[in-house]
Structures are given as structure tokens and as C-alpha cells.
Chain A
């Protein structure tokens, strides 16, 4: 045993790291089935009542729908813009395109709270003030660095000569972009969209400043965390989110493995 430990300490370490990563999170499902309001050992008994109370809550359904809407819209806009910015930067690089690409990645250096209040001041000045639309705008800014980085690495992964060949054969810029570059960049588009979608769906810090009367799911969860009586229901909700996320993540992983490139290449580089 001792010799195994010294020879395979790295394996042991990685296993311990995974336990650290998962232990607190996995307690949430355990206590969501526990027949007691206080999350403590010993477990009191099995119940599904907290899930029942979730089903009966219209505000929750509303918040979940809002989040789906905001995340789809923000991810779509951020992915489309990120794709164009990355393409302009890498393939048609002018000082302007490079500047835009740099600016688009700037929010990496901004904590969410700064981005949130900056946009809050902005939407109060020009827009309709805090609202779901404002959250979409905030999440586009928040997700843009990710999508630009993913799309840049994707466009860098195939040679420019493919597009040059299309141009030599008479395709104009627009046709080359649409028929050659975009299809090749499709895996990048998919992973950029998914990353942006998860980020937006889960985002709280920026959304908290921009939220109006219609809450998103994280805002709803936050409002429930204040009430100890709501705790088990929140944990049931957390379990549902966890299960859906695991299924989606597994699905994405499966799709990615059927693709040609490794995920790490397309996720961040």
C-alpha cells in the first residue's frame, strides 16, 4: 500500500482533488430528499415533497423561462458577433479589426460587479432601465471574450489557404466566408454558443444590477436563499439544475467526441 502511494501519488492526489471538487456539491441532492428543513445529519427520512413544492411554484417557472430566453438570446448575439470579430481579426486583419478584437476581450479584465454597474448607468441613461433586455446586453458583454477567444482558436486551426483557393476560383469575400470559413468553423460556433449559454444561464453578479421586475433563475435562487424555510426547495431546484446540466454536458461531450478536434482545442486557447 505504501509503495503504491509513493509510486502513484499523482493518481491519489487527483482522486482527492475530485472529492474536494464534488463533495459539497453532492450534498445538495442528498438533502433535497431529506424530510427535514434543516440540512444536518442524521438524515430524517426520504421525501419528495420539496420537488412537489417546486412544481407548484409559478414564479420559479417564470424565472426559468426568463433565464432560457436571456441565455439563448445573449449566447446567439455573442457567438455571432464573436465569430465576425475573430474572422475579421485573423483573416482580414486591419488595425480596426485588431482593435475591435482586443476591446471585445477586455471584459476578461473587468470583475462582474464593475461591468454590472457600468451597464446599469448606461441603460438608465439611454435605455429603458433595468430589464430583461438590459440583462441580455450585459451578458453579451460578459460572454463576448469567451466567444471571441473560442472562434479565434477555431479560425486559427485551419489554414487560410483554403479561403485563398476559394477566392482564386472566383468566389467573392462574402461567398468565401459563408461557404468555406463558416462550415469549417461550425464546431467552434457550437462550443462558443454552448459556453456562452451556460455562462449566461448561471450568471448572477452582472444580472443582479440589471434586473428589473422579471427575475432570472439565479436571481430567483438568490431571493430564496434568505428564507431558511425555502432551503429544501432550493436544494431540490439545485438538484434539478445539476441533473439537467450533467445530461447536457454529457451530450455535448458525446457530440464533441464525434467531431474531429479535441475539446480542449476548441474550448479555450
Chain B
């Protein structure tokens, strides 16, 4: 804080009744920090702390109780079903994240370097689905892939199949496709912003020094876009791990994800401590995956 130059005239001109500038600045800072501090501490920190507290409670139907145990956390870790579902959530979300980022990268590249006067229109078109209902975007896939749905009826109409194809819906791969579609726009934006900020003369320099286009891409563009790739992966991965809407709508019985289990504990099963324990464990799992992915990608990109 170097405000000293501002204090000199203030001390000379301000009448003595007014509080000195430094303490007034302190009051201003306090007011400035108050709303944010209130929200982050009372809502975010408090709620997360409560969740942690809940996860070590015995399910006796109360929020503040006296009985504690680590059974919830322990059984969530050891129960084979929970482990399977947690693993499935992470694997499915990782596939979704990979697919979303890989599919979005060329679009972001085109937007940043090639789109020219089409850039604004394209950017608008890519972000527009972001403005439509998420539930309906997911639900549209159910209409498309249902047994008597759009795809089957269209294919039959065209004479390409005789009987409706079974098994388009209610598989884990349906969940992957649907999630990849629903989160597409989220991946394009961070990638585009990162690519757009890269200095263009680097590519010219690479070309001048004899790099072929693919060399220029893999050894200049790609390593420099790692921050964009990481933030795109983050905004896709985290919400998809906890998603329970897509598995419920298009996933069928064999693709329930960790969000489905947590939701069931807070709904039908009515065992809040068990649900809180699942939530705590999935948060830890997410943190581990995010940190590991960051470490691997950063190492890989600094080596090339």
C-alpha cells in the first residue's frame, strides 16, 4: 500500500475535526470487506463445516445431536457399491471432460485465429445453448434416443432399419454423449479466451524458424494453451461428477453416479449423515483428481 503521496496534502488541508485519512481508509476497507466476508464465512464456510460435522454424526433425525461416529465415512469408503459408483462417476466425467475439451479445441482455435468477420456471430452461436434450459437440453436427448423416439422413427421412416434399435438409451455411453453435449459451450469459452490472448508473432516466429504447421501447433500453440485447457477441464469436470439429472433422465439403472446416491440419501433413504459422508468423500476425490491432472499436464507441457 503506497498511499503516502496522497496523505501529505490531506494532512495539511483537512480540518482537525475530520478523522485522519488513514483511519477513514480503514473504515472504508472494513465496509468493503463486510458483505463478502459475511457471505463467504456464513454461507460457504459455515455450510461446508456443517456438512463435515454432519458426516461424522449418527443418523438420529436431528441436525445437532450428541452421538458421533466415523461409521458413515468408513462405510462410504468400504461399501463396494459406493466405490463402484464413485469410480464410475469419476471415469465417466473424465471421459466427458476429455471429449468436451478435445472437441471444443478446434472450434476455439478457429474462433481465435481464423474466424475473421464471422467471429462475433460464431461466438454468439456457440454460447447460445448456454442460455437455454439445461434440463431441456438433457431431455432433448431422451426424445432423440428413446425406443419410440426421434432417431428410431426417423431411421425406420427412411427404411434404414426394420425394427427400432434397442439400447440407445439407458447406457453409460448415453450419459457421456449427453453430458458432453450439455457442457460443450462451457469448454469453448475458456479455451477461446486463452488462445485469443496468445501473441500472434510467436507463430510467425515459429514458422520463420522453419517449423511446419503441425510442429508450430504441437510445440507452440498447445503448450501455451495449457492454462485454458486446465480451466476448461475444471468447469466441465466438477459439475459433471456431481450431476444427478443426466443419469436420472437418460442413464438407466446401470449409470447412476455419486450425485444420484447423495440425492437418494437426502431424499428417499432419509439418512443425511450418510449423504454428507458421501459428499465429503466425493469432494476429496474431486480435489485429488484435479490436483493430479494439474500436476501431470503442467509437467508434460513444461517438458516439451
Spell out A's residues near B (CB within 8 Å). Answer: 10-11, 13-14, 17-18, 20-22, 24-25, 27-28, 31, 38-42, 80-81, 84-85, 87-88, 92, 94, 96-97, 100-101, 103-104, 106-115, 117-122, 124-125, 137, 140-141, 144, 164, 167-168, 170, 172-174, 177, 198, 202, 204-205, 208-209, 218, 221-222, 225, 234, 238, 241-242, 245-246, 248-250, 253, 257, 263-265, 267-269
Partner among A14, A40, A107, A117 whose Cβ is within 8 Å of the Cβ of B279: A117
Q: Whose C-beta in chain A lies nearest to the C-beta of B144?
A: A24
Of B68-76, B107-115, B168-176, B202-210, which stretch is located at the interface?
B107-115
Identify the 5 closest CB pairs spanning chains A and B, nearest first: A111-B242, A40-B153, A85-B36, A24-B140, A118-B47
Partner among B6, B32, B192, B196 whose Cβ is within 8 Å of the Cβ of A87: B32
6 intermolecular pairs with C-beta atoms under 8 Å apart: A97-B33, A110-B48, A119-B47, A122-B46, A141-B47, A241-B133
Q: Whose C-beta in chain A lies nearest to the C-beta of B196?
A: A264
Interface string of B43-69 (1 = CB under 8 A from A): 111111011001000000001100000
CA distance A257 to B9 in the complex (A): 42
List chain A residues, Cβ under 8 A from B41: 103
Does B193 touch A at the CB level, under 8 Å?
Answer: yes
List chain A residues, Cβ under 8 A from B304: none
List chain A residues, Cβ under 8 A from B283: 109-110, 114
| Cβ–Cβ contact A117 & B190, under 8 A | no
Does B161 touch A at the CB level, under 8 Å?
Answer: no
**How far apart are B123's CB and chain A's nearest CB, in angstroms?**
7
Does B80 touch A at the CB level, under 8 Å?
Answer: no
**How far apart are B29's CB and chain A's nearest CB, in angstroms?**
6
CA distance A257 to B10 in the complex (A): 42
| Cβ–Cβ contact A113 & B279, under 8 A | yes
List chain A residues, Cβ under 8 A from B153: 40-42
Partner among B25, B131, B135, B148 whose Cβ is within 8 Å of the Cβ of A204: B135
Interface string of B107-127 (1 = CB under 8 A from A): 101100010000010111111
| Cβ–Cβ contact A121 & B33, under 8 A | no
| Cβ–Cβ contact B39 & A241, under 8 A | no
Q: Whose C-beta in chain A lies nearest to the C-beta of B155?
A: A41
Does B293 touch A at the CB level, under 8 Å?
Answer: no
| Cβ–Cβ contact B44 & A104, under 8 A | yes
Q: Whose C-beta in chain B lies nearest to the C-beta of A114?
A: B279
Query: Given that A114-B51, A221-B136 are known contacts, is A88 also in contact with B114, CB under 8 Å in the complex?
Result: no
List chain B residues, Cβ under 8 A from A117: 51, 262, 266, 272, 275-276, 279
| Cβ–Cβ contact A125 & B63, under 8 A | yes
**How far apart are A107's CB and chain B's nearest CB, in angstroms?**
6
| Cβ–Cβ contact A39 & B28, under 8 A | no
**How far apart are A192's CB and chain B's nearest CB, in angstroms?**
14
Q: Whose C-beta in chain B lies nearest to the C-beta of A94?
A: B29
Interface string of B1-18 (1 = CB under 8 A from A): 101011001100100000
List chain B residues, Cβ under 8 A from A39: 143, 146, 149-150
| Cβ–Cβ contact B244 & A113, under 8 A | yes
| Cβ–Cβ contact B131 & A248, under 8 A | yes
List chain B residues, Cβ under 8 A from A241: 132-133, 136
**How far apart are A12's CB and chain B's nearest CB, in angstroms?**
10
List chain B residues, Cβ under 8 A from A11: 110, 114
| Cβ–Cβ contact A96 & B37, under 8 A | yes
Q: Whose C-beta in chain B lies nearest to the C-beta of A138?
A: B43
| Cβ–Cβ contact B6 & A245, under 8 A | no
CA distance A202 to B140 in the complex (A): 16
**How far apart are B37's CB and chain A's nearest CB, in angstroms?**
5
| Cβ–Cβ contact B128 & A249, under 8 A | yes
Which has the most chain A C-beta neighbours within 10 Å: B24, B234, B238?
B238
**How far apart are B69's CB and chain A's nearest CB, in angstroms?**
17
**How far apart are B236's CB and chain A's nearest CB, in angstroms?**
12
**How far apart are B210's CB and chain A's nearest CB, in angstroms?**
22
List chain B residues, Cβ under 8 A from A24: 137, 140-141, 143-144, 181
List chain B residues, Cβ under 8 A from A177: 28, 32
List chain A residues, Cβ under 8 A from B39: 81, 104, 140-141, 144
| Cβ–Cβ contact B238 & A108, under 8 A | yes
**How far apart are B66's CB and chain A's nearest CB, in angstroms?**
15
| Cβ–Cβ contact B144 & A20, under 8 A | no
**How far apart are B188's CB and chain A's nearest CB, in angstroms?**
9
List chain A residues, Cβ under 8 A from B107: 13-14, 17
Q: Whose C-beta in chain B lies nearest to the C-beta of A166?
A: B6
CA distance A139 to B81 in the complex (A): 32
Which has the most chain A C-beta neighbours within 10 Å: B43, B114, B149, B242?
B43
Does B154 touch A at the CB level, under 8 Å?
Answer: yes
CA distance A101 to B33 in the complex (A): 10
